[in-house]
Chain A
Amino acid sequence: MNSEQIKDKSAPEGRSLWQDGLRRLRKRKLAIACFVVVLIYFGLAGFIYIAEFFNWKVGPVNWSQEVGEQYQPPSRNNVFGTDIFGQSVWRKTLYGAKISITVALCASFISIFIGVPLGAIAGYFRGFVDEIIVWLYSTLSSVPYILLILAFAVVLRDKTLFGYKLTGITSVYLAIGLTSWVGICRLIRGEIIKHKERDYVLAAKSYGCSRARIIFRHLIPNVFHIVIIDFSLRFVDFIHAEVILSFLGLGEATRPSWGAMINDARIELSRGVWWQMMAATLAIFFISLALNIFGDALRDCLDPKLKTEQR
């Protein structure tokens, strides 16, 4: 009892697993660079929201303005040229970031809010409840993904839900979110099955925690790094899904999005108009690459099983 009472002021300050992971992440230059790229995209999307709200007449918000003749190739005035209506492709591309990120973000939150609790409940209670949930997601995942999203998007389109009309991107992110919770649900279920046998769960029970408390206060924080990692890696998929839906004409019809731009470019390409296609593809390419590298690094840093210091 006495030996441990020596006051040790030089001991490190309390550091949680999160802080530990972030410290590791900070050492990875490439990951940080990618994170900056992702932040730029998010910042752009946020800026467009603010600009639209306050009615600022700045570039991307004025995407519908005619800036020149139709089908002008890239030049000093128009970096990515103009489209059929003489609108700036550059502005449309920037504006597309808002649509894509809104869709991906909303879809992610929907899938996390469905997938995480369902996975946790299935993993913790097992038995009958588990079987129903596994059955549900197995059925959902047995339908080809694109077909399923298409079906949802078609069904949800222009319907009213709780008095709110599902137009354009709302039905898109609902469709993506409602179909893509399977992956995270499965991951969380497996992880909870592993964690619920740990001693700290038994200890928590032994001082009188209820089951809900154990699941949501003790277990989910312990597996939450998986949610973050899955979120960062799946975000790209959601952007792609939005592009595919727009390309197939089920997305946003009135405002420019990357998918709609690629869809337009399909016909234009035969006339040798390649810049609209290129602009949208590059925009998707950079955010996909950045998110993938960042997500990988995040997984390496946050997953205690893979604890590896990188110099």
Chain B
Amino acid sequence: MTNTNSILLSVEDLSTHFSTEDGLARAVQGVSFRIQKCKTFALVGESGCGKSVTALSIMRLVPDPPGKIVSGKIMLEGKNLLELSERQMRRVRGNQIAMIFQEPMTSLNPVFTVGNQIAEAIKLHQKKSSEQAWADTVKILDGVGIGDAERRVYEYPHQMSGGMRQRVMIAMAVSCQPDLIIADEPTTALDVTIQAQILDLLDELQRQNDMSIILITHDLGVVAERADDVAVMYASRIAEMAEAKALFENPLHPYTWGLLKSVPHLGFEGKRLQTIPGTVPDPLHFPAGCKFHPRCPVGCNDKRCQAVEPELREVQTGRHVACWYAPGYETQQERNEYESKYRQ
């Protein structure tokens, strides 16, 4: 994660807040990560932890009002996306960063044929004649595994199955050869048998087009198989970030342990599935200190965990974690302070 030449997108200290009637909801707080070229970066976490808002913030599609990106930098090839005008941003969307949504059933406009929609995306970004865009559309549709593409381009979304529509969404996303695809739970709404096909397709397209992928998911199995780097989000912050292999072999954050332990395995029969006690905190009323402490098996009674929120630190090369108890996290000074102030 260190070679700067291979970095495609870097998010630095991103914060996105929503002002609601009940107060300010800090949906994303000080999130930083880097995405390497041609690699898959997985963003994992429970519902409502800020994964999708992070993705929408990168696209600058957070509904405003009520949402607002309050601070941070999103650097894509030397330019800060947060400083671009709306017009410049439109050129980035679809062209450099494209997005695939969770619900293929509703993400396609029902009154257009699928061909029309893909061709529209092409014509928005590339100077091509209608015939050329249409020919490309057929080719792309064929490329995402839709058989008989020449006829399928004239079909309406309601004539297709969920898996087919997700393929169309993917076709739309790759139509302008973007550098980065943000896939926001691309398989959640699909049949299990289709899920693997869709992910295989994404892998294949990634290799063909040299794209990076941000894969947002809560399926740890998928992450273990497909991701190169993983960030685990909890309550609007990144709790732990590492290469996928390292993270699965040796999780450092108690929340990551909990997540990994609550995945069912084969041969697990007869035993109760482990869960993390408690629920995700409401973004309007985050607990003080470490946001995970009320549910944490390690720090629930620790005075410091209750009072001071740990920030994300690099504890080993390429391993970032935000937990006072992670090995190598504390500095000596903090250790001394802890002994004198919090320990009774």
B61 touches A221 (CB 8 A): no
Residues of chain A in range 2-21 having any CB-CB distance to chain B below 8 Å = 4-8, 11-17
Of the listed stretches B76-84, B88-96, B235-243, B261-269, name the one at the interface; the rest are far from the partner chain: B88-96
Are the CB atoms of A1 and B95 closer together than 8 Å? no
* Residues of chain A lying within 8 A (CB to CB) of residue B163: 4
B106 within 8 A of A: yes
Residue A58 CB within 8 A of the other chain: no
Which listed residue, B109, B125, B146, B147, touches A204 by the CB 8 Å rule? Answer: B109
> Do A200 and B108 touch across chains, with their CB atoms under 8 A apart?
yes
Quick check: is A203 within 8 A (CB to CB) of the other chain?
yes
Residue A308 at the chain B interface, CB threshold 8 Å: no
B316 on the A face (CB < 8 A): no
In the complex, the answer to whether A222 meets B155 with C-beta atoms within 8 Å is: no
| Most chain B beta-carbon neighbours within 10 Å: one of A4, A6, A218 | A4
B159, A206: Cβ atoms closer than 8 Å:
no
In the bound assembly, the distance between CA atoms of A111 and B84 in angstroms comes to: 39
Nearest-neighbour CB distance to chain A for B57, whole angstroms, equals 13
Cβ of A131 < 8 Å from any Cβ of B? Answer: no
- If A4-B145, A16-B111, A203-B169 touch, whether A208 touches B125 (CB-CB below 8 Å) is yes
- Contact check: which of A8, A11, A218 meets B109 at CB < 8 Å? A218
User: Is there an interface contact between A208 and B95, defined as CB atoms closer than 8 Å?
Assistant: yes
Give chain A interface residues in 229-276, CB to chain B under 8 Å.
none
Provided the pairs A4-B147, A208-B94 are in contact, do residues A12 and B159 lie with their beta carbons within 8 angstroms? Answer: yes
**Contact indicator B111/A210 (Cβ below 8 Å):** no
Q: How far is the CA of A202 from the CA of B93 in the complex (A)?
A: 11
B-side contacts of A221, CB under 8 Å: 111-112
Which of B97-105, B218-226, B280-288, B307-315 interfaces with chain A? B97-105
- Interface pair B109/A14, CB less than 8 Å apart: no
List of B residues within 8 angstroms of A204 by Cβ: 109
Number of interface residues of B (CB under 8 A): 43
Q: Which residues from chain A contact B101 at a C-beta distance below 8 Å?
A: 199, 202-203, 206
Judge if B113 is at the interface, Cβ distance under 8 Å. yes
Report the bound CA distance from A228 to B301 in whole Å. Answer: 66
Say yes or no: is A198 at the interface (Cβ < 8 Å to chain B). yes
Tell me the bound Cα distance from A92 to B313 in angstroms: 90
Contact B108 A203 (CB under 8 A): yes
- Are B121 and A208 within 8 A (Cβ)? yes
* In contact, B94 and A14 (Cβ under 8 angstroms): no
B197 & A15 in contact (Cβ 8 Å cutoff) = no
Contacts A1-B201, A16-B156, A222-B109; A210 near B98 (Cβ below 8 A): no
Q: Does B337 contact A (CB under 8 A)?
A: no
CA distance A33 to B99 in the complex (A): 49
Chain B residue nearest to A224 in the complex (CB): B111
Complex CA distance for A184 and B156, rounded to whole angstroms: 28
- Complex contact A1–B200 (CB within 8 A): yes
The answer to whether B169 and A1 touch across the interface, beta carbons within 8 angstroms, is no
**Which of B91, B98, B146 touches A4 (beta carbons < 8 Å)?**
B146
* Chain B residues near A (Cβ < 8 Å): 59, 61, 90-95, 98-99, 101, 103, 106-113, 120-121, 124-125, 145-148, 154-156, 159, 163-164, 167, 169, 172-173, 175-176, 197, 200-201
What 7 A-B pairs come out closest when comparing CB atoms?
A: A207-B94, A5-B147, A208-B94, A1-B145, A206-B99, A208-B93, A199-B106
- A sample of 28 inter-chain contacts (CB < 8 A) reads A1-B145, A4-B145, A7-B147, A13-B154, A14-B113, A14-B155, A14-B156, A199-B103, A200-B107, A200-B110, A203-B99, A203-B108, A206-B101, A207-B99, A207-B121, A207-B124, A207-B172, A207-B173, A207-B176, A208-B91, A208-B92, A208-B93, A208-B125, A209-B90, A209-B124, A210-B90, A221-B111, A222-B109
Taking Cβ atoms with an 8 Å cutoff, the residues of A that contact B are: 1, 4-8, 11-17, 198-200, 202-210, 217-218, 221-222
